[in-house]
Amino acid sequence: MSNAHAKAPTDRRDFLLKLGAGAGVAALTAQTAASLRSLVPNVSYDSPTTVKLGPPVDFPDGIKFLPDERLFVFRQGNTFHAVSAVCTHLGCTVRAEALANVQTVESGGGELRLTHRFLCPCHGSEYKGDGSNVSGPAPKPLAWYRLSVAPDDGQLVVDLADEVGTDFRLTLG
Amino acid sequence: MRLPLSSRKAEPDAPGVRPQMLWSLSPRSDREAGDAIASNFMFHAFPAKVSKASMAWNYSFWLGTISAALFFLLILSGLPLLFLYVPSVERAYQSVKDIEFVITFGSWIRAVHRIAAHGMVIAVFLHLVRVFLTGAYKNGVGRGQHREWNWVLGVVMLLLTLFLSFTGYLLPWDQLAFWAVTVGTNIASSIPWVGATVREMLMGGRTIEQATLIRFYVLHVVILPLALGVIVAYHMWRVRKDGGLARAEHETLAERPIDTPVVKTKTYTLLGVARGQAPVIRAQALEAPDTTVNAVPDLVRRTAIATLGTFAVISIMAVFIASPLEEPANALVTPNPAKAPWYFLWLQEIVTDTTIRIGSFTVNGAFVGGVLLPGLLIGLLTAWPWLDKSSHLATGVWLPRVRARQNTVFLLVVLGILILTFIGMALRGPYWYFYWPWEAWPDIPARI
């Protein structure tokens, strides 16, 4: 009994020491966590992914490069499709280079006239006119994005968050 | 109140307590030399005595001191830039242009900062090469040595140096900056699972914008220099605790304890005389008067030569070498070719060549060359002191035969990195095609 009585003050002191140290560690941890969390943005001020590109008549037959969207829009008669200009390797903007001989390939969505090829200035990746990767470090083809027509003013609209297959075509009546 | 000079005692009562503003750089006795160390704030990091061999110019080439001097010079030249640079996407480019063309001495200060930064990458790298080739990360005969940890700190400081350069690269907000950071952050995002999050944390969003600039700026001017400064201090402290440079170790190993005659500046006890320890004293080599010198003035003089020499060379180079400033950053046009800073060109070369295709399964070269290979290299480098099983007799010796094989492999890796850097610098043209230096680059239209 006297033994336990003698030990009690030490225990309390010990307990308070642990409490104090624990509170200090907890406060520091919370501060660190809060500081790191504050660096994760809650609101994105990035540009929207759905963008109006202009009326279809502005697009000539063939290819048009839209630098702001980093996008190539292709027109063959009254069908349209859009291919990304962002290299799948490390995100540089690829450049289109006109081919001497136009090739025609068959794809899921119909005949495709390949007038250009795409080259990346950063690491030399090369893509065919349909976006498929041919050589260089690029691991996969350029993305194709969904095109549609704005219901209010009839402009072409691209959805940069909506990737589609190479059989996608927007056909205007 | 200070006493007139004539009545002061020639020898102080106790070291380090003299109320004296200046200290002697040409001490008349060992006591005064030790006192100069103990009573001086700047010198307290030095030992009182240092082995002659470890002070040799051609052992360490003083690369650590030169790296530290460059770091100090970068802080000095960074301070005025801190007043002049504005970390905002609208004004960053203009403020750097002002520093370059409007502000008095601005272009010189910027050139000093830039050349010192490039120089620091080179000096730190060469320091690492020197330490490897001399096996200076190995422990010798002293008790409680842990030189391997100083090697690990060194690898960390090399990475910090590279990251400091990389974050400084973005600040001018020109084309070079913008696309180097595009490539760099995309390498980060190629890490499986966490890559996209890492990139977003680094950039503060999904595109390189104001949030990215301010993050890189704070990393560049506060967090990374602070971290580097703390580790540099710890690195120096560890050198002392491990018994000085590894070269001193070699000296201790090579020499037997020798008898030294009685000298005036040492205290001999009666007991020592009775036991036969005096008047002929058995001393270890490190304490022997003919293998060591006083830190004041010898070590101080050489440190001053290395430091001031570095300052002088950089200052003169900065007069003749102008710092480039490209067009303002334009997210719409990727320059052709788009090259990373020269110390990352070997990585750019690797990420170009390492996309692996096995059937329909493809691994992006960005991950293999940008994360996996360098990660493996750094991991191996960090763990090397524990993998190196050679004798402790090879500590602090240039290219010893017992370490011939590992030194050869190490030098081959270094050579490989240098060759890849050269290819990236001199032999890559538009679209990253291979061109010999004498071949002209074709005319590429700026736009389609």
B7 within a domain of the structure (yes/no): no
Q: For chain B, how many structural domains are there in total?
A: 2
Cβ distance B186 to A90 less than 8 Å, yes or no, reads yes
**CB of A68 within 8 Å of any CB in chain B?**
yes
pLDDT score of B226 more than 60: yes
Closest CA to A62 of A99, A120, A114: A114
- The dihedrals phi and psi of A81, each to the nearest 5 degrees, come to -150, 160
Does the residue B1 lie in any domain?
Answer: no
Q: Where are the domains of chain A?
A: 1-40, 50-171
CB B212 within 8 A of CB B203: yes
**Taking 50 as the threshold, does the pLDDT of residue B5 lie above it?**
no
Given a cut of 90, whether residue A47 has pLDDT beyond it is no
Higher pLDDT, B196 or A151: A151
Same domain, B175 and B284: no
Beta strands in B269-405 (DSSP E): 281-283, 292-294, 356-358, 361-363
Q: How is residue B432 annotated by DSSP?
A: G
DSSP result, B19-73: --SS--SS-SSHHHHHHHHHT-TGGGGS-SEEETGGG-HHHHTTHHHHHHHHHHH
Chain-chain contact of B334 with A93 (C-beta, under 8 angstroms):
yes
Same domain, B262 and B309: no
Tens digits of residue pLDDT in B364-399 = 777 888 788 889 999 999 999 999 998 888 888 898
Q: With 60 as the cut, is the pLDDT of residue B277 above it?
A: no
CA distance B41 to A98: 69
Overall average pLDDT of the B43-61 stretch:
87
Q: Please compute the mean of the pLDDT values over residues B45-56 and round it to a whole number.
A: 85
List the alpha helices (DSSP H) in B286-372: 300-320, 345-353, 365-367
Q: How far is B60 from chain A (nearest CA, A)?
A: 39
Nearest to B367 by CA among B351, B378, B353: B351
Assess A117–B contact: CB distance below 8 Å, yes or no. Answer: no
| Contact yes or no for B435/B441 (Cβ under 8 A) | yes
pLDDT digits (tens, 9 = 90+) for B396-424: 889 889 999 999 999 999 999 999 999 98
B353 interaction partners in chain A (CB closer than 8 Å): 137
Verify that B197 and B248 share a domain, yes or no: yes
Summarize pLDDT for A32-42 with one digit per residue, the tens. Answer: 999 988 888 88
Helix, strand, or coil (residue A70):
coil
Say what percent of chain A tops pLDDT 90: 24
Higher pLDDT, residue B222 or A172:
B222
Within-domain flag for B27? no
Per-residue pLDDT tens for A1-22?
A: 455 555 556 688 889 999 999 9
Average pLDDT, chain B: 84
Which range of residues forms the domain containing residue B147? 49-255+291-432
Distance CA B85, CA B95 (A): 5
In this prediction, residue B95 has a pLDDT band, given cuts at 50, 70 and 90, of very high
- Tokens read off for B279: 């008047």
Rg over CA atoms, chain B:
27
| Most B-contacting residue of A84, A122, A160 (CB-CB within 10 A), to test interface | A122
Q: Percentage of chain B surpassing pLDDT 90?
A: 43
Quick check: B348 pLDDT over 70? yes
Is residue B261 located within the same domain as residue B249? no
The pLDDT value given to residue B355: 75
Look at B355 and A138 and tell me if their CB atoms are within 8 Å: yes
Structure tokens at B272: 């020592």
pLDDT tens, position by position, B173-184: 998 888 888 877
Answer whether residue B11 is part of any domain.
Answer: no
Of the two residues B333 and A134, the one the predictor is more confident about is A134
| Residue A136 sits at the chain B interface (C-beta within 8 Å) | yes
- Buried b / exposed e over A17-48, threshold 16 CB at 10 Å, is eeeeeeeeeeeeeeeeeeeeeeeeeeeeeeee
Q: Based on the domain organization, do B364 and B279 belong to the same domain?
A: no
- Please report the ipTM that was assigned to this predicted complex: 0.72
Classify residue B43: in a domain, yes or no. Answer: no
Q: What is the pLDDT of residue B252?
A: 67
Angle between helix B404-426 and helix B106-133 axes, rounded to 10 deg = 150
Residues B185, B282, single domain; the answer is no
**Domain identity same for B365 and B249:** yes
Check whether B4 has a pLDDT greater than 50.
Answer: no
Q: What is the pLDDT of residue B3?
A: 44
Cα B338 → chain centroid = 28
Is B142 in the same domain as B222?
A: yes
Q: Which long-range contacts (CB under 8 A, 24 or more apart) does B181-186 make?
A: B181/B208, B181/B212, B181/B216, B182/A90, B182/A91, B182/A92, B182/B208, B183/A90, B183/A91, B183/A92, B183/A122, B183/B338, B183/B340, B183/B348, B184/B340, B184/B344, B185/B212, B186/A90, B186/A91, B186/B366
Q: Tell me: do B393 and B337 sit in the same domain.
A: yes
User: What is the tens place of the pLDDT at every residue in A74-128?
Assistant: 998 888 999 999 988 888 888 888 888 888 877 776 778 888 889 888 888 899 8
- Per CB-CB distance under 8 Å, the chain B contacts of A97 are 448
State the average pLDDT over residues B17-23: 56
Residue B34 counted as domain residue: no
Judged by CB atoms closer than 8 Å, whether chains meet at B332 and A67 is answered as yes
pLDDT (0 to 100) of residue A4: 52
Distances from the Cα of A80 to the Cα of A62, A77, B383, angstroms: 10, 8, 56
B11 pLDDT exceeds 90? no
Q: CA B317, B319, B325: angle at the middle one, nearest 5?
A: 95
The residues with which B90 forms a beta bridge, in sequence order, are none
Average confidence (pLDDT) over A39-46: 81
- Helix or strand or coil: residue B425? helix
Joined tokens for residue B324: 């480039």
Within 8 A of A126 by CB-CB distance, chain B residues are: 431
Choice between B216 and B352, residue whose per-residue pLDDT is larger: B216
Residue B7 pLDDT grade (very low, low, confident, very high; cuts 50, 70, 90): very low
pLDDT of residue B270: 65
- Asked whether residue B400 is assigned to any structural domain, the reply reads yes
Say if residue B172 is in the same domain as residue B261.
Answer: no
B37 and B46 Cβ atoms separated by less than 8 Å = yes
- Residue B2: predicted pLDDT: 47
The shortest CB-CB distance from B206 to any of A46, A65, A136 is to A46
Check residue A68 and give its pLDDT: 84
Q: Which CATH architecture has domain A50-171?
A: 3-layer Sandwich (2.102)
The yes-or-no verdict on residue B134 having pLDDT over 90 is yes
Q: Which residues of B touch A (CB under 8 A)?
A: 179, 182-183, 186-187, 190, 200-201, 204-207, 209, 211, 215, 332-338, 348, 351-355, 362-366, 430-433, 444, 447-448
Residue A144: partners with Cβ closer than 8 Å, 6 or more residues away: A81, A82, A83, A84, A131, A163, A164, A165, A166, A168
Q: What is the CA radius of gyration of chain A?
A: 30
Q: Is the pLDDT of residue A140 over 50?
A: yes
Q: In the prediction, which pLDDT does B151 show? A: 97
Averaged pLDDT for residues B130-140: 92
Which pair of structure tokens corresponds to residue B230?
A: 């703390």
Measure CB to CB from residue B448 to each of A39, A95, A123 and give the nearest one: A95
How far CA B103 is from CA of B86, B110, B113, B320, in Å, comes to 14, 11, 15, 18
Average pLDDT score over residue span B441-446: 67
Q: What pLDDT digit, counting tens, does each position of B285-318 carry? A: 555 567 788 888 889 999 999 999 999 999 999 9
| pLDDT at position B50 | 86
Token digits of residue B45: 């990091």
- Per-residue pLDDT reduced to its tens digit, B23-42: 667 788 887 788 778 777 77
Task: Measure the CA–CA gap between B374 and B417, rounded to whole angstroms.
Answer: 11
CB-based contact A122 B337, cutoff 8 Å: yes
Let me know if residue B139 belongs to a domain: yes
Q: Is B291 helix (H, G, I), strand (E, B) or coil?
A: coil
Is there a contact between A166 and A131 (Cβ–Cβ < 8 Å)? Answer: yes
Cβ contacts of residue B333 below 8 Å, gap of 6+? Answer: A67, A93, B175, B446, B447
Q: How far is CA B104 from the centre of its chain?
A: 30
Res B273 pLDDT > 90 = no
B45-54, B359-368, B421-430: which range is least confident on average? B359-368
- Which of B288, B240, B247 is closest to B56 using CA atoms? B247
Q: In terms of domains, do B151 and B266 share one?
A: no
pLDDT band of residue B132 (cuts 50, 70, 90) is very high
Q: Which of B37 and B277 is assigned the larger pLDDT? A: B37
Residue B148 and residue B274 in one domain: no
